[in-house]
Amino acid sequence: MTTTLAKAAGSVAAAAGPAPHLREDLLTPRFYTTEIAKAASTDLAGQRAAFEAMLAEMEADYNREHFDRKAPLDRLRELTAVQKEAYESYLVRSCVSEFSGFLLFKELSRRLFKASRPELGRLFQLMARDEARHAGFLNRALVAEGIEIDLPSLSGKRPITWFPLSWVLYSVFLSEKIGYWRYILIDRHLKAHPENSVAPLFDFFEPWCQDENRHGDIFNMLIRCWPELRQGLRGRLLSRFFLWSVFLTHSLTVCERGSFYTLLGIDPARFDAEVMRQTNRTARRAFPYVFTFEGTRYVQLRDQLVDTFRQMQALGEQPATPGRFLKNLGLKLRFAGLLVHQFCQPMEATGVQLEGIA
């Protein structure tokens, strides 16, 4: 979800320029909206028990006391310029991403209440609450770095991308689950290696990731309310496209911008592969098809894609010449070929597309 942000540093005004560390490319977080009228027609009859249980869990608000507004979030030690940029870049992109989730859920909640679906409106209202807490907490960590982001003004700065409801259900489920695995794996690593923790922010990751997990379970339930989304060719294509696209974005973000994970003592490529494997395994409970990692070239193609993407980024910083144009064209063609090859990697059926069919 892209936007213009503001940085406060010394005497520079907050609105002086774009956000630091948030360059415009395919990895930049974006803002979304969807078919809200269609969302309002969601039939909960077959998922009523699951819906009531999830609503009750959200109302219980187990993390109410977790996001302590008085908790210090200053870094624990000095960093080199490169390390500081990596840490701040992670905070900025994560903050904007969380805020985008808040905006989507808030709009869905508001419109669902107006459409006389108060139970669905309340559920999205509670998820918006969680996303606002996450964005606010990350924003506080940025303030500790001397960076201020004007979150309330973000929605008016950039165009909003429209997605069909089916795309939102699949992509948000995956985004929440992949977020869960990112947070929990970082938490486990830092508990095993506390010397690599550079900020108290990371101490909050374990309970934090449970919000991501709950949101993912809610979207799994919503997908089940639309059984046609998991059946036949449509279910196969939705599964393939969203697993592939979310994994691709994650791989490029983690591996091509891996300095943040290196700062924490984490090997970016191994971390990315583990997050993909765990998310792929989790998706078996929601999607009719998932990728087969064992015995396939999926991860090897990931490495080739990341390497080609790095070359494209480096070439883009060179002076414009005919030679650069031709080399860039060759890299783009190679990148496109690798994308197609990875997209077509083998998948296996999970059996969930048969659930609920008489």
Each residue's pLDDT expressed in tens, for the chain with a length of 358 residues: 333 223 322 322 233 344 555 554 544 667 788 999 999 999 999 999 999 999 999 999 988 888 877 888 889 889 999 999 999 999 988 998 999 999 999 999 999 999 999 999 999 999 999 999 999 889 999 999 998 887 777 666 667 888 999 999 999 999 999 999 999 999 999 999 999 999 999 998 988 899 999 999 999 999 999 999 999 999 999 999 999 999 999 999 998 779 999 999 999 999 999 999 999 999 999 999 999 999 999 999 999 999 999 999 899 888 889 988 999 999 999 999 999 999 999 999 998 765 544 3
Strands 161-162 and 347-349: unpaired
What region does 345 belong to: left with phi over 0, alpha with psi -120 to 50, or beta?
beta
- Closest C-alpha to 345, from 283, 286, 299: 299
Expressed in angstroms, the distance from the first to the final Cα of the chain is 41
71 in Cβ contact with 207 (< 8 Å): no
Give the model's pLDDT for residue 154. Answer: 63
Q: Which two tokens stand for residue 168?
A: 């939102």
Give the model's pLDDT for residue 12. Answer: 27
pTM for the structure as a whole: 0.89
Give the model's pLDDT for residue 257. Answer: 78
Give the model's pLDDT for residue 67. Answer: 80
Give the model's pLDDT for residue 64. Answer: 84
* Distances in whole angstroms, Cα of residue 285 to Cα of each of 44, 57, 177, 230: 19, 20, 12, 11
Give the model's pLDDT for residue 209. Answer: 92
Q: Which two tokens stand for residue 51?
A: 């819906």
Give the model's pLDDT for residue 355. Answer: 53
